[in-house]
Structure 1
Amino acid sequence: MSVFRRLLAAGVGAAAARYALREIRSAPAGPALERTNFRGRTVTLAAGPALAIGASGAAAAGAASVPAGAATLVAGLGAGAVGLYDDVVGARPEQQAAKGFTGHLAALQQGRVTAGLVKIAGVGAAGLAAAVLLSADAGVAGHRRRQRQSALGRGVDVLLGAGVVAGTANLVNLLDLRPGRALKSGLLLGAPLTGGRHGGIAAGAVGASTGLLPADLGEDVMLGDSGANSLGAVLGVALAARTGPLGRAALLTALVGLTAASEKVSFTSVIASTPGLRELDALGRRAD
């Protein structure tokens, strides 16, 4: 993919995300998306669906093939939709008790289906559908590889790809605890992925993230689960599209390890106590 096409995908992502944010904020349902952030400021969750639309659309437009573009749309919009459901329904008082993956499973054992569990299942389904679409990528090299793979091998490859997409979506969401943190993480992860055949996918996500970063840092908006999950899912597709079974297995192992660590350790505490990360995290943010 040419540099011009990647830059175009990034520009489209930034413009689309900012336009979607304005439209969603001014829609009749806009006031229902207002929330209070960690510092007591009123912000809007409209940035979540705006990022999902901008990143998914631009990344799909920048994809190298129709199957890869379809995978990007399914992952980004699917994760964004179930994330928005959790943002809205999960804010209800009866939903607040269940926290983390173990909390949602405990609620299920008691016969309650939480909004968070719906989100987890939805992100997983979106990741699986995206991985199936990626397996249909019509690239010549991919076709030759599939010819050599057994049905079992292809199935394992798809499951690993689904895990990478869903795991990346979850990881970015886990980082969305302070203004700008999830978008900065997306930029750091996405920028190195803008090269190569599938670079346009990451370029679209990077552009959309850049377009919304000033408003996020200024505590005017909040990504919520919708934006963070969608950004992570799109970047997960970019990762899965450029790796084979071994690469996907390594990525999934790292993602599972980080997710497990998040149940025991506060990422915010780790960042605050680590020189370099602490300054990067605070860069551009309002002073406490």
Structure 2
Amino acid sequence: MSELLIMLAGGWVISLAGMKSLGFLFVRMGWVAPNYQGDAIPLGYGLVFWIALVWFAFCEPASVWLVGPAIIVSLAGWLDDRIGQSRMKGLRGHFGVLWREGRITTGMLKVWIIGSCAAGVAFLTFDTVPSFIVDMLLLALGANFINLLDVRPGRALKGVWFLLLLCIGIGSVSDAEMSLFLYLLICTIVAAPSDFSARAMLGDTGANLLGFLGGALCVYSLSPIVKWLVVAWLIVLHLYAERVSLTAVIEQNALLRRIDRWGRQ
């Protein structure tokens, strides 16, 4: 228990110090972008999460097989945040550039990296081919699901908390995964004030990483049938988001609108 408390306390301190100190670096380096209101704020603040993951891996060496791919996913998001083409929206946009121009965008490269990391993590623990496929899809789609939400303050973090709620509500989080569950929860709570107040954007750097880890917890906490249902829902959501703005859908639904605006300043 003492080791767990030390690990969680370290994650809290690292996340808090990172959120407080990275602002100067981001502004100094010009790593800012306009948010939905047109205000220039730091983009890619999710960098603090993979810094915190280094401490988690130090305390839980057996987690390296998951932490390593998660950091690679985050670095792919960082690349897209820094040099990606913001005019390219959705998978259709990136595939369209590849088809029309024969050019691989940073977004397309990120898709390949996330898919490879998802396949690698799923391969380590799969029992059957169907279980490998559902786990890989859950990891990959989970990473992009949170990224889809990261267009308004706090929305991505609420998406992560939704995945955690699935794990604890209709799944079974084992003792082996509980440390990651609690660590991820604490780190996102620490990041919430800056994100909810629109002082910083997690960016692909943070959204993809959080979605990947949330997907991993779903992989190890949910039953096979529930995992397939979640994957089916994520596929439908991604296809729908290619054609319709999720923000517009949320604004038109009273319950979703209230949840979306909760905590936002």
Question: What range is the shorter-chain TM-score in?
Answer: 0.7 to 0.9
Q: CA deviation at 1:202?
A: 2.1
Amino acid in structure 2 at the alignment position of 1:77: I
Equivalent residue for 2:135?
A: 161
Select 2:23's aligned residue among 25, 39, 42.
25
CA gap 1:12/1:219 in 2 versus in 1, 3 angstroms: same
Equivalent residue for 1:205?
A: 184
Question: How many angstroms apart in 1 are the aligned matches of 2:28 and 2:120?
Answer: 30
Structure 1 unaligned residues grouped into runs of 5+: 136-145, 147-152
Question: How many angstroms apart in 1 are the aligned matches of 2:55 and 2:6?
Answer: 9
1:88 equivalenced with 2:82 (yes/no)? yes
TM value normalised by structure 2? 0.86
Q: Deviations over 1:119-167 (max 9, x none)?
A: 11111112112222344xxxxxxxxxx5xxxxxx2x4322321111110
CA gap 1:8/1:272 in 2 versus in 1, 3 angstroms: farther
Amino acid in structure 1 at the alignment position of 2:91: F
Equivalent residue for 2:162?
A: 188
CA gap 1:176/1:41 in 2 versus in 1, 3 angstroms: same
Question: How many angstroms apart in 1 are the aligned matches of 2:79 and 2:259?
Answer: 31
Q: Say which SS state the counterpart of residue 276 (structure 1) adopts.
A: helix
8 Å CA contact retained: 1:199, 1:238: no
Question: How many angstroms apart in 1 are the aligned matches of 2:89 and 2:242?
Answer: 10
Equivalent residue for 1:111?
A: 102
Q: CA deviation at 1:96?
A: 4.2
Amino acid in structure 2 at the alignment position of 1:89: I
The alignment-based identity, stated in percent, is 26
Q: Deviations over 1:191-231 (max 9, x none)?
A: 45354332222222111110010011111110111111100
Question: How many angstroms apart in 2 are the aligned matches of 1:222 and 1:161?
Answer: 28
Amino acid in structure 1 at the alignment position of 2:78: L
Select 2:204's aligned residue among 225, 237, 256.
225
Superposition pairs for residues 10-49 of structure 1, below 5 Å? 10-27=8-25, 30-49=28-47
8 Å CA contact retained: 1:10, 1:206: no
Cα RMSD, aligned residues only: 2.6
Structure 2 unaligned residues grouped into runs of 5+: none
Q: CA deviation at 1:58?
A: 6.3
Q: Say which SS state the counterpart of residue 97 (structure 2) adopts.
A: helix
